[in-house]
Amino acid sequence: MASLDWHQTRRDGVTLVELVVGAEAAEWVRVESRLQPVWPPRRQGVPVAGWDGASFEGRIEPDAPLVLGYASPAAPLDPPAQLTTVDDSEESPDGTAVSPRAIVRTLGESAPPRDVVPAGTGSEQTESGDSAAGTPATAGRPPPAGSTTSTATAAVSDPEAAIEPWFDAVGERLGEAERLADVTGVEEAHGAVEAVGGIDAARDLRKQLEADRQQLRRLRERQQRLAERLAAVEIPLSTLERVT
């Protein structure tokens, strides 16, 4: 069964949410944000593949957790999201094994969601899809800084964009933990605890660091397996060219 770890940061009236979904077996899950409205990560003004309103659907593997990030003007909630297992056994209408729903999950919708389509006629739009005034259709919304999603589609198009924000967030948490660990007096301890948001926030930070350790351990193990496979494989191009 899938498990959910989270980290929330409130900055300038915006809550930044980071979710890590792990599981002991491969499965599809739906992540529904309890914070409304949701500002998901976007590419060219359109939510990245997998997002539909306030929910995200994606596949997780035992050694490949799902990492999601988004923003919301709502105040933090614990937990900030709910998990639902999604049945992926549907067949397509013609009886093939791959369902249209599974294809949409992987590739995303062909049309942008309603919330990014500006009002007005097509004559008011530029060729790039922005409004005539030169501002994106999502103008006025704070950008979800540091948000990302680790779907297969995102990983193929830009692998660093899918994982770097998570590494950055882990680095920030480590910096906070190191400052707490380096205190040498009562007054300094009070200041360090207040800097992270109080003793409850320090407890949450310790829990999150343990989750980070587990995720990094899984990533390291997977990296090692992939590196060994990469070192062992060689495509016999000369042979393939002769037989094709």
Each residue's pLDDT tens digit, 130-186: 433 333 333 334 444 344 333 333 334 455 665 777 788 888 889 999 999 998 889
Q: Two tokens at 229?
A: 């496979």
**pLDDT band at residue 102, thresholds of 50, 70 and 90?**
low
Q: Lowest mean pLDDT: which of 10-24, 51-65, 97-111?
A: 97-111
Distance CA 104, CA 83 (A): 19
Q: Two tokens at 62?
A: 């035992």
Residue 34: strand pairing partners: none
Cβ atoms within 10 Å of 170's Cβ, excluding its own: 19
Distance CA 146, CA 91 (A): 37
Q: Which of 121, 86, 116 is nearest to 101 (CA)?
A: 86
DSSP SS3 for 153:
helix
What is the share, in percent, of the chain residues with pLDDT greater than 70?
69
DSSP SS3 for 143:
coil
Domain-by-domain residue ranges, the chain? 1-157, 159-244
Q: Which residue has the higher pLDDT, 111 or 47?
A: 47
CB-based contacts of 47: which residues, under 8 Å, 6+ apart? 40, 41, 113, 116
**pLDDT band at residue 18, thresholds of 50, 70 and 90?**
very high
pLDDT at 134: 38
Distance CA 81, CA 53 (A): 13
| Average pLDDT over the chain, rounded to an integer | 75
Q: Which helix (H) or strand (E) holds 237?
A: helix 237-243
Q: Which of 96, 79, 85 is nearest to 34 (CA)?
A: 79
Distance CA 165, CA 147 (A): 7
pTM to 2 decimals?
0.44
Q: Two tokens at 96?
A: 């093939």
**pLDDT band at residue 89, thresholds of 50, 70 and 90?**
low
